[in-house]
């Protein structure tokens, strides 16, 4: 027996899109309210609305599959189609079945939804729909988890529906992003309308084949493949499909209709990347940077140095290549006119004080948001200037100092005080001075040693120490060599060995090359297992770094006069996979000894311990903090960034700063809400994508690079997009956000 459809209101029954004529193409604007009855109960709806919408909006569920809140009804296309499940009886056609989606609500009409003839009509329509399914399709996961299955439970599935003997329809699982099982298609035409009418793509059409039960129709592509058909892969068809015929391949079966925005989901700070990419495509750079600033205060820095998890997640990468999202952030910041300032709010003074220990990306982010919430903020840092690893760990050819200073200056404009050359090792002093809350953001300033004989000799240095010395001007060109102060001097024609295979090793190698010396970057595994990002490896090779594989340092000794040091490597071979899944490097027994003048260990970093902090740490010395609030074991003390995560990325540190700022604001008497809207309301990407047949064949445009021969000193290696290239690259966006923002279907009450 079917479920009582009056047991509870249908989901989404009050969704205002039902009355929004702009979202129902082909219908005129709705008129004044009319009054009618549903199963004897009074109801009201705007004149001109469909009777189906009117009934559902009054809290009564009527089964339907061809109608969706974001789409005009399929039955109004005039080319057939429709599910015929929305059977009702109206007072002007007594004892006859009418279909509510095809009628407009009228004054005084009496509607019945539960008569026996209605139930029989709905079950007959459902039998026709499911009768086309092959037996295996009726029991598939796609059907069991679909909207159709829920509707079938309400209507009541007849036990005697005959098995379909028609030819099996195609099942396509080798094209980008989503699977298509045409055996599950019920020809509701939602996907057809979403693609052709709403998105304007036009890559779908109605197909037909004769069966013993009559013509079997379904919706398929106009050409053999999605790409050839001109599909834009916007996923709108997947979102509106009620039967499981279309399913996003990457999602869990139970969440196949929950199409996300991958670039936004992948961003630790939750930046609405799709929105700013689409604004950049329109040349609206100030609006784009406002979107970025809604989630972080450093668009210029992140537009240059973010490792861009959004790009790795970009759905376009499954079609050809992902978008250059980070580069679009940079051009937006470079063209910022300050529009965001009009909507940026700083609350009046709260009377509360917060101390930040460490002026790195996490600490600066905390300071930014706490100051905007009206709290008095002071940042303490042991070094002479703000930025943490941005200034003292990222080379200037990636993030110029003037960009860093400009964005730190915005933090200072909020009234945040900076106390440099001030090392805080005991938090008791800060609480004694009247601070109400403290954030620890000291990063991972300690460099891991090589752990081999001779790693303490003059001329052996760790990565953080070396890069910090470079940024502070302690490394100078001297007749073609470099000098890191009292610890090591490198003579003319010197050779440097950088040990490590990650992005930090690349920073050291490329930095050292700028002093005119020969550089080896030495890694113990194979090239395929190297953790470095591709563009960083390309930068090393372009700039003349010798990248060497399957060598591991074994010992370091004083040199023979020709070079300051001798380093002996063990030749490694690939063994069995280790816990990381990579093949374990195994000593082959062969040794290689070479002369070098400087060895830089870029194999890891650790947190420096301060007992006076009084907070719990883990076995690696990292501060233990609650994931939801970043509160430490000490009341009133929070921590985030690398000192909690271990060596991580800028965007992860910024994201932690946001978490801590919200929690600290609550402790300081605020509401903990640091969200901002910095772009005027009303902006929305057009849902119409157009019939651009070259859309899926546009190559990715990368930000231009300075030619290797022209890379001198600390001039930026990566330039910004031209306006034309930025617009062209932004327009490659699949606009996944449009599908994610679509209203969900109105589903039956829970059984």
Average pLDDT over residues 283-289: 95
| Model confidence at 139: pLDDT above 90 | no
pLDDT band at 689 (very low <50, low <70, confident <90, very high): confident
Q: Please state, in angstroms and as integers, the Cα–Cα distance from residue 258 to each residue in 185, 238, 542, 688, following that order.
A: 19, 9, 43, 21
Same domain as 453, residue 597 = yes
| Model confidence at 465: pLDDT above 70 | yes
pLDDT band at 209 (very low <50, low <70, confident <90, very high): confident
pLDDT for 135: 72
Are the CB atoms for 438 and 357 separated by under 8 Å? yes
pLDDT for 406: 97
Which of 216-220, 417-421, 486-490, 502-506 bottoms out in mean pLDDT, i.e. has the lowest? 486-490
Whole-angstrom Cα distance, residue 89 to residue 96? 6
Q: Which two tokens stand for residue 493?
A: 């024609």
Read off the DSSP letter of residue 30.
Answer: P
Would you say residue 204 lies in a domain? no
Given the DSSP bridges, would you call strands 446-447 and 605-606 parallel, antiparallel or unpaired?
A: antiparallel
Whole-angstrom Cα distance, residue 285 to residue 298? 15
pLDDT in tens, 552-567: 999 999 998 888 899 9
Average pLDDT over residues 514-525: 94
Would you say residue 229 lies in a domain? no
What total number of domains does the chain contain? 4
pLDDT for 259: 54
Answer with the residue of higher pLDDT: 127 or 357: 357
Same domain as 520, residue 565 = yes
Would you say residue 8 lies in a domain? no
Place of tokens 């290239």: 725
| Model confidence at 4: pLDDT above 50 | no
Among 622, 645, 667, which residue terminates a domain? 667
pLDDT band at 684 (very low <50, low <70, confident <90, very high): confident
pLDDT in tens, 59-109: 899 999 888 888 876 665 455 557 889 999 999 999 999 998 888 899 999
Would you say residue 673 lies in a domain? no
Given the DSSP bridges, would you call strands 551-558 and 178-181 parallel, antiparallel or unpaired?
A: unpaired
Read off the DSSP letter of residue 475.
Answer: S
Whole-angstrom Cα distance, residue 624 to residue 653? 15
Answer with the residue of higher pLDDT: 74 or 748: 748
| Model confidence at 160: pLDDT above 70 | no
Same domain as 519, residue 529 = yes
Same domain as 127, residue 35 = yes
Highest mean pLDDT among 110-119, 572-581, 656-665: 656-665
pLDDT for 7: 31
Given the DSSP bridges, would you call strands 33-38 and 41-46 parallel, antiparallel or unpaired?
A: antiparallel
Would you say residue 383 lies in a domain? yes
List the 178-181 sheet strands across, edge first: 171-172, 178-181, 246-248
Same domain as 351, residue 337 = no
Same domain as 595, residue 506 = yes
| Model confidence at 502: pLDDT above 90 | yes
Sequence-distant (≥ 6) Cβ neighbours of residue 578 within 8 angstroms: 584
Average pLDDT over residues 732-739: 90
Give strand ranges (E) for 410-563: 417-419, 437-440, 446-447, 460-462, 476-478, 481-483, 495-499, 518-522, 546-548, 551-558
The distance of Cα 44 from the centroid of its chain, to the nearest Å, equals 43
pLDDT band at 320 (very low <50, low <70, confident <90, very high): very high
Same domain as 719, residue 594 = no
User: For residue 563, what is the domain's CATH number?
Assistant: 3.50.50.60
Q: Please, which residues bridge with residue 705 across strands? A: 718
Residue 630: which of 599, 662, 608 has the closest Cα?
662
Average pLDDT over residues 356-362: 97
Would you say residue 232 lies in a domain? no
| Model confidence at 43: pLDDT above 90 | yes
Give me the phi and psi of 210, to 5 degrees please.
-80, 140
Average pLDDT over residues 347-354: 98
Which of 36-45, 187-196, 280-289, 381-390 bottoms out in mean pLDDT, i.e. has the lowest? 187-196
Same domain as 463, residue 597 = yes
Same domain as 402, residue 268 = no
Among 615, 640, 667, which residue terminates a domain? 667
| Model confidence at 25: pLDDT above 70 | no
Same domain as 40, residue 23 = yes
Among 76, 111, 131, which residue terminates a domain? 131
pLDDT for 432: 97
Whole-angstrom Cα distance, residue 562 to residue 558? 11
Same domain as 540, residue 658 = no
pLDDT in tens, 403-446: 999 999 999 999 999 999 999 999 999 999 999 999 999 999 89
| Model confidence at 643: pLDDT above 70 | yes
User: For residue 123, what is the domain's CATH number?
Assistant: 3.10.20.740
Would you say residue 49 lies in a domain? yes
Q: Which two tokens stand for residue 403?
A: 């960009």
Same domain as 384, residue 470 = no
| Model confidence at 481: pLDDT above 80 | no
The distance of Cα 216 from the centroid of its chain, to the nearest Å, equals 41
Whole-angstrom Cα distance, residue 41 to residue 266? 49
Would you say residue 367 lies in a domain? yes
Which range of residues forms the domain containing residue 705?
262-342+679-738
Whole-angstrom Cα distance, residue 603 to residue 499? 7
Place of tokens 């304007």: 200
């Amino acid at each position: 027996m079917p479920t009582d459809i009056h047991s509870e209101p249908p989901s989404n029954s009050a969704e205002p899109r039902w009355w929004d004529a702009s979202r129902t193409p082909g219908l005129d604007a709705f008129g004044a309210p009319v009054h009618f009855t549903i199963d004897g109960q009074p109801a009201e709806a705007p004149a001109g609305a469909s009777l189906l919408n009117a009934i559902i909006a009054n809290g009564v569920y009527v089964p339907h599959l061809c109608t969706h809140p974001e789409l005009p009804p399929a039955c109004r296309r005039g080319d057939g189609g429709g599910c015929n499940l929305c059977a009702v009886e109206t007072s002007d056609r007594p004892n006859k079945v009418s279909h509510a989606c095809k009628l407009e609500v009228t004054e005084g009409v009496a509607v019945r939804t539960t008569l026996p003839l209605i139930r029989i009509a709905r079950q007959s329509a459902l039998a026709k729909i499911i009768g086309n399914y092959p037996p295996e399709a009726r029991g598939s996961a796609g059907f069991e988890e679909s909207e159709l299955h829920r509707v079938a439970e309400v209507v009541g599935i007849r036990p005697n529906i005959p098995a379909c003997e028609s030819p099996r329809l195609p099942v396509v699982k080798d094209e980008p992003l989503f699977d298509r099982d045409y055996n599950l298609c019920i020809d509701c035409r939602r996907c057809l309308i979403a693609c052709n009418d709403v998105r304007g793509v036009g890559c779908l059409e109605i197909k037909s084949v004769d069966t013993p039960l009559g013509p079997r129709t379904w919706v398929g592509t106009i050409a053999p493949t999605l790409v050839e058909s001109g599909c834009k892969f916007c996923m709108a068809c997947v979102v509106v499909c009620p039967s499981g015929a279309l399913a996003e391949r990457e999602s869990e079966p139970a969440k196949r209709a929950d199409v996300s925005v991958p670039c936004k989901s992948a961003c630790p700070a939750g930046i609405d990347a799709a929105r700013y990419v689409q604004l950049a495509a329109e040349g609206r750079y100030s609006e784009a940077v406002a979107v970025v600033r809604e989630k972080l205060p450093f668009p210029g820095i992140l537009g240059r140095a973010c490792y861009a998890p959004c790009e790795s997640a970009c759905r376009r990468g499954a079609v050809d290549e992902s978008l250059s999202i980070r580069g679009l952030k940079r051009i937006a910041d470079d063209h910022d006119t300050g529009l965001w300032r009009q909507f940026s709010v700083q609350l009046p003074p709260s009377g509360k004080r917060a101390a930040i220990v460490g002026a790195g990306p996490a600490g600066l982010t905390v300071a930014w948001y706490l100051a905007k919430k009206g709290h008095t903020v002071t940042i303490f840092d042991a070094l002479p200037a703000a930025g943490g690893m941005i200034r003292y760990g990222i080379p200037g050819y990636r993030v110029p100092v003037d960009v860093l200073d400009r964005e730190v200056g915005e933090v200072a404009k909020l009234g945040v005080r900076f106390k440099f050359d001030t090392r805080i090792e005991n938090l008791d002093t800060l609480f004694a001075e009247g601070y109400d809350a403290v954030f620890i953001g000291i990063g991972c300033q300690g460099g891991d040693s090589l752990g081999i004989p001779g790693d303490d000799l003059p001329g052996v240095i760790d990565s953080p120490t070396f890069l910090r010395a470079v940024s502070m001007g302690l490394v100078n060109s001297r007749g073609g060599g470099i000098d890191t102060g009292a610890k090591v001097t490198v003579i003319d024609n010197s050779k440097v060995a950088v040990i490590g295979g990650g992005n930090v090793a690349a920073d050291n190698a490329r930095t050292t090359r700028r002093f005119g010396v020969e550089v080896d970057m030495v890694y113990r595994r194979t090239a395929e297992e190297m953790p470095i990002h591709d563009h960083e490896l390309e930068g090393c090779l372009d700039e003349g770094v010798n990248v060497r594989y399957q060598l591991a340092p074994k010992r370091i000794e004083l040199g023979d006069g020709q070079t300051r040091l001798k380093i002996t490597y063990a030749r490694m071979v690939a063994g069995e996979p280790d816990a990381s899944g990579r093949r374990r490097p195994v000593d082959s027994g062969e040794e290689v000894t070479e002369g070098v003048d400087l060895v830089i260990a870029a194999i890891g970093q650790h947190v420096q311990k301060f007992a006076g902090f009084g907070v719990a740490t883990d076995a690696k010395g990292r501060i233990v903090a609650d994931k939801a609030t970043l509160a430490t074991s000490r009341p009133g003390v929070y921590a985030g960034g690398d000192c909690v995560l271990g060596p991580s990325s800028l965007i992860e540190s910024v994201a932690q700063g946001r978490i801590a700022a919200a929690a600290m604001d609550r402790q300081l008497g605020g509401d903990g809400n640091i969200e901002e809207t910095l772009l005027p309301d009303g902006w929305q990407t057009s849902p119409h994508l157009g019939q651009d047949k070259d859309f899926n064949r546009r190559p990715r445009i990368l930000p231009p690079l300075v030619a290797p021969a022209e890379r001198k000193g600390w001039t930026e290696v990566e330039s910004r997009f031209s306006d034309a290239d930025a617009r062209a690259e932004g327009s490659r966006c699949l606009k996944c956000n449009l599908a994610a923002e679509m209203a969900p279907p109105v589903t039956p009450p829970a059984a």
